[in-house]
Amino acid sequence: MAEDGLMLNITENLDVPVFYKNKSFSFKTADKWKEKKARKRKAIGDDAPPPKQKTHVTTSPQSTVKMPKKKEIIKQQEEEPSPKIMSEILTKPKVKVIPEVKVAPKQQASAHMTGRDKREGEGHCSVKTSSLFKNNPLIPDIQRPEVNPLNEEVFTSNLFSELDLHPHLLATLTNVLKITSMTSVQEQAIPALLNGRDTVIRSQTGSGKTLAYGIPLVQFLQALQPKVQRSDGPLAVVLVPTRELALQSFEIIQKLLKPFMWIVPGILMGGEKRKSEKARLRKGINILISTPGRLVDHINNTKSVSFKSVKWLVLDEADRILDLGFEKDVSSILNALNTSCQQRQNVLLSATWTEGVIKLADVSMRDPVTVQVFTKSSKHEEDTEQPQNLLSTGGSESFAIPEQLKQHVVIVPSKLRLVTLAAFIMEKCKHEKNQKIIVFASSCEVVKFLFTLLTNVLRGCTDGQETSSIGLQPPLMDFTKLHGSMNQQERTEAFLKFSQVKSGILLCTDVAARGLDLPQVTWIIQYTAPASHTEYVHRVGRTARIGTQGSSLLFLAPSEVEYVSVLASHNITMEEIKMETVLASLLLDDHYKGRKVASHKKSHGVTQGEVRVRATVLQTEFENFVHSNEENTQEAKLALQSFLRAYATYPATLKHVFHIKKLHLGHTAKSFGLRDAPQNLSIGHGRIRDGKSKQQQERKRAFKAMGSEKSVANILRSEYSSGMEPGLIKKTQKKKKSHNRPGRRRKM
Ligand SMILES: Nc1ncnc2c1ncn2[C@@H]1O[C@H](COP(=O)(O)OP(=O)(O)OP(=O)(O)O)[C@@H](O)[C@H]1O
């Protein structure tokens, strides 16, 4: 071996088989084998790999190389699989000899290598990735119960010009917004609101709800006599759950107000300077758009808001406002409003319909008109029942998802998650035109990690600055990140940038899940499953908006497959895309080609072996990058830690599907480019030790301590709150003082 220069200096991590001189070798040392077995023993739950099958490969104590018997090589060649059964083979190797794979060192990978890596790479095969395709759990068949999805017709043939609107407002719709016909929800909601009725609007994502209240609101305000003045202060209050949504709603209202310059819109949101907001409030804002936390902050602290002139209250994305635990803030705002102004028109909007929303409608609305766009019978119904009756109308807990949205699921063992995600992104963004993808991950740290990793490792993008021989070219893969740890300016820039690009990838947390109207998004990838079906609907609702086409892909581990049935119970259905179909797209990219492919594989065209090689090369590049310096390794560990922390906070109703105990730590670590499970993972109040004893008890204790509903609420809320709530600030400071450690609130 040594004289052939074929990596005798392989590190302990390597067990990728290499094909050399027609022989297949596995470089697993006896020690490494023992270590792997020990690690496997630590695996817990369903996602743990199946017991290792005995191989006929023998290990010589003197040598680090195991030589398969010649017979076995022949047997494998005979059993070369057809592409059809690749999935089975990828997850459950039938052949006892590992497939022949020869992996070449990659220039790009070496760019991220440590000195040691580089030495090992020089002239040798430098792949250090333990086999991605071995010891993975079986991918079960997906049970897809029959569902009867609710559909809503988006457009009507009715024109805005048929409404009794101010001609300048009509002209703005036609010339500025370039819209002429109403959507179904607008057709029903606008007349009700123009008639002065309180209105509850439930309609699918991307169906034009903002204009459904925006148009009648502007029509109402421009007609007021005497004419509205800045000094009147707020005449309308619009509450939205997130800063980005506040910004977006503000921009739409601003457009509608173009011909009516005397009406001043304004925005309050966390992350801005309180002092400058106070000054703007004092100057006078007629349409006040705000997140609840920030408005309460001004009510209580700056005392610069007066509600005495308020004529309209809009609760947009009411379900999200409640999900985030803003009930208390909303109650404070309602109390403040009720004290100052009795007569006002109220509007409540939601894409999903929950008991909480119905209760909120109950306390904030007076004899409301309920607008629901029904579709089972392809019939639009305007129903004037009290909202309490809505649960019995068939709309409860079942959500209309745009008909043109194609939903998919891919089942991926933990070890293969990262390469599968990367392969999918590359397939879309490098080989197809104008693809705009949103990837939802579970925490800020995961988003940061993926952003650093993917921008550095995937070819064709260099942090948005790709050049070519012909000059400056738009990058093939332009990544943007959006999460709650970014400051407001960064968040706004990211949001605006992704709104404007023709193709690119937005890596984000659920901060981008609600209400954001990002044009021409083609794919939604849920890299981590959402914590509720409601969240699922909102995430996928970022595509297929207003009648356009769109697709979504949900990543699930084999142990999480039951989630498909959970979603089906809410009338959400999806097609499966096989993982190997996604990975096969790597064949389009020769950068990930193995140096030599065994000749017998070629005869089979698209082979399992070549896909595996390329996936392994890609994973190796990820691992090399992650291990190229301490900073990268720390970022990966932090991301893994926060992923586990978020995983432990799935609600009790979903624990049977997503339970931390079902995760295999080593495999999960691999999906963060880590070659091994970190030894000491500090998670929440406890630590996960990857040591040999007491591991399970410690894990149990750690997650028990952090799995309470309260902590989930705090984690979620922190993303959306003003960040200035006195109670929370005090609490955090108190904790800091007494424990001398950072506050517990974590952003997503
Ligand atoms: N009548 C219309 N004709 C064409 N486009 C429209 C019409 N009304 C609204 N739109 C556009 O549709 C897109 C989606 O609108 P909007 O964001 O209000 O949807 P939504 O129902 O509030 O979605 P979500 O529930 O996700 O918040 C926007 O780009 C908006 O400009």
Question: For position 685, what pLDDT does the model report?
Answer: 41
Q: Is the pLDDT of residue 491 over 80?
A: yes
Q: Looking at the predicted structure, is the pLDDT value of residue 121 above 50?
A: no
pLDDT for residue 540 is more than 60? yes
Q: Are 372 and 203 in contact (CB under 8 A)?
A: yes
Report the nearest atom of ligand 1 relative to the CA of 248: 17
Which pLDDT score is estimated for 595? 56
Per the prediction, the chain carries an average pLDDT of 74
- Tell me the three state secondary structure of residue 364: helix
This complex has an ipTM of 0.98
Q: Report the residue among 158, 203, 207, 254 best suited for mutation to probe ligand 1: largest number of ligand atoms under 8 A from its CB.
A: 207
Predicted local confidence at residue 683, as pLDDT: 57
| pLDDT above 80 (res 21) | no
Residue nearest to atom 30 of ligand 1 (CA): 208
Cα separation, 497 vs 506, in Å, equals: 10
Residue entry with tokens 């060192």:
105
* Confidence at residue 707, expressed as pLDDT on a 0 to 100 scale: 38
| Per-residue confidence (pLDDT) for residue 36, from 0 to 100 | 53
Ligand 1, atom 15, residue with closest C-alpha: 208
457-475 pLDDT, tens digit per residue, is 985 444 444 444 344 455 5
Q: Quote the ligand 1 centre to 106 CA distance (angstroms).
A: 47
The number of the ligand 1 atom at minimal distance from the alpha carbon of 210 is 18
Name the pLDDT band for 711 (thresholds 50, 70, 90).
Answer: very low
In this structure, the number of other CB atoms found within 10 A of the CB of residue 54 comes to: 7
Distance CA 170, CA 664 (A): 59
Distance from the alpha carbon of residue 403 to the mean position of ligand 1, in angstroms: 16
Q: How far apart are the first and last CA of the chain?
A: 50
pLDDT at 271: 66
Q: What are the beta bridge partners of residue 439?
A: 507, 525
The answer for residues whose C-beta is within 8 angstroms of residue 567's C-beta and 6 or more apart is 533, 536, 573, 574
Minimum-distance ligand 1 atom for the alpha carbon of 351: 25
Mean pLDDT within 159-170:
96
The alpha carbon of 546 and the centre of ligand 1 are apart by a number of angstroms equal to 6
pLDDT at residue 606, as a whole number: 54
Question: At the topology level of CATH, where does 155-381 sit?
Answer: Rossmann fold (3.40.50)
Q: Give the Å distance between the CA of 252 and the centre of ligand 1.
A: 10
Provide CB contacts within 8 A for 602, sequence distance 6+. none
| Mean pLDDT, residues 232-248 | 93
Which of the four pLDDT bands, split at 50, 70 and 90, describes residue 122? very low
Nearest Cα neighbor of 539 from 520, 572, 498, 511 is: 511
Name the CA radius of gyration of the chain, rounded.
Answer: 28
Mean pLDDT of 185-202: 95
Q: How many percent of the chain have pLDDT more than 70?
A: 65
Give the residue, 22 or 547, on which the prediction is more confident.
Answer: 547
User: 633 with 460: CB under 8 angstroms?
Assistant: no
Nearest to residue 258, comparing CAs of 316, 180, 174?
174
Predicted pLDDT at 699: 40
Confidence band, pLDDT 50/70/90 cuts, at residue 324: confident
| Residue 46 scores a pLDDT above 90 | no
Of 31-40, 390-399, 444-453, 606-615, where does mean pLDDT reach its minimum? Answer: 390-399
Query: Does pLDDT of 269 surpass 90?
Result: no
Q: Out of 67-76, 346-355, 564-573, 584-593, give the one with best mean pLDDT.
A: 564-573
Q: How many angstroms is it from 547 CA to the middle of ligand 1?
A: 10
Closest CA relative to residue 461, chosen from 414, 426, 493, 431: 426
542 CA: nearest ligand 1 atom: 26
**Where are the CATH 3.40.50.300 domain residues in the chain?**
155-381, 407-634
pLDDT at 698: 40
User: Ligand 1 centre and the CA of 544: distance in Å?
Assistant: 11
Min mean pLDDT across 371-375, 659-663, 677-681, 718-722 is at: 718-722
pTM, rounded to two decimals: 0.69
C-alpha 209 to ligand 1 mean position (Å): 6
CA of 675 from ligand 1 middle (Å) equals: 45
- pLDDT tens across 676-708, in order? 888 766 655 434 433 333 334 444 443 443 333
Peptide bond preceding 226 in cis form (omega within 30 of 0) = yes
pLDDT at residue 68 is higher than 90:
no
Residue 129 has what pLDDT? 53
Q: Is 397 left (phi over 0), alpha (psi -120 to 50) or beta?
A: left
In which band, very low, low, confident or very high, does the pLDDT at 480 lie, cut at 50, 70 and 90? very high
C-alpha 213 to ligand 1 mean position (Å): 11
CATH number of 407-634: 3.40.50.300
**Span 635-648, mean pLDDT?**
95
Range with the lowest mean pLDDT among 284-293, 358-367, 431-440, 735-744?
Answer: 735-744
pLDDT tens by residue, 541-581: 999 988 889 999 999 999 999 999 999 988 899 999 999 99
Site to substitute for ligand 1 among 160, 170, 173, 179, most atoms within 8 A of C-beta: 179
The predicted structure's pLDDT at residue 35 = 54
How far is the CA of 40 from the CAs of 47, 103, 324, 690, in angstroms? Answer: 11, 26, 39, 11
Distance from the alpha carbon of residue 435 to the mean position of ligand 1, in angstroms: 20
Q: Which atom of ligand 1 is nearest to the CA of 177?
A: 31
Tell me, in angstroms, the distance from the centre of ligand 1 to residue 433's CA: 24
d(CA 283, CA 743): 36
Which ligand 1 atom sits nearest the alpha carbon of residue 519? 29
Instruction: Give the mutation target among 218, 510, 517, 548 for probing the ligand 1 site: most ligand atoms within 8 A of CB.
Output: 517
* Protein residue whose Cα sits closest to atom 7 of ligand 1: 208
Which positions ≥6 away from 316 have C-beta within 8 Å?
209, 210, 213, 238, 239, 240, 241, 245, 249, 349, 515
Task: Give the integer Cα–Cα distance in Å for 202 and 325.
Answer: 20
Which is the closest atom of ligand 1 to the Cα of 515? 27
Q: Residues enclosing ligand 1, CB less than 6 A?
A: 179, 182-183, 186, 203, 205-211, 351, 515, 517, 541, 545-546
212 CA → ligand 1 middle, Å: 9
From the CA of 160, give the closest atom in ligand 1.
Answer: 1
Whether 487 shows a pLDDT value over 80: the answer reads yes
Spatial distance between the Cα atoms of 387 and 409, rounded to a whole number of angstroms: 34
Percent of the chain with pLDDT over 90: 45
In sequence order, which residues have a C-beta less than 8 Å from that of residue 277 and are 6 or more positions away? 268, 294, 298, 302
Average pLDDT on 8-15 reads 30
pLDDT level of residue 593 (50, 70, 90 thresholds): confident
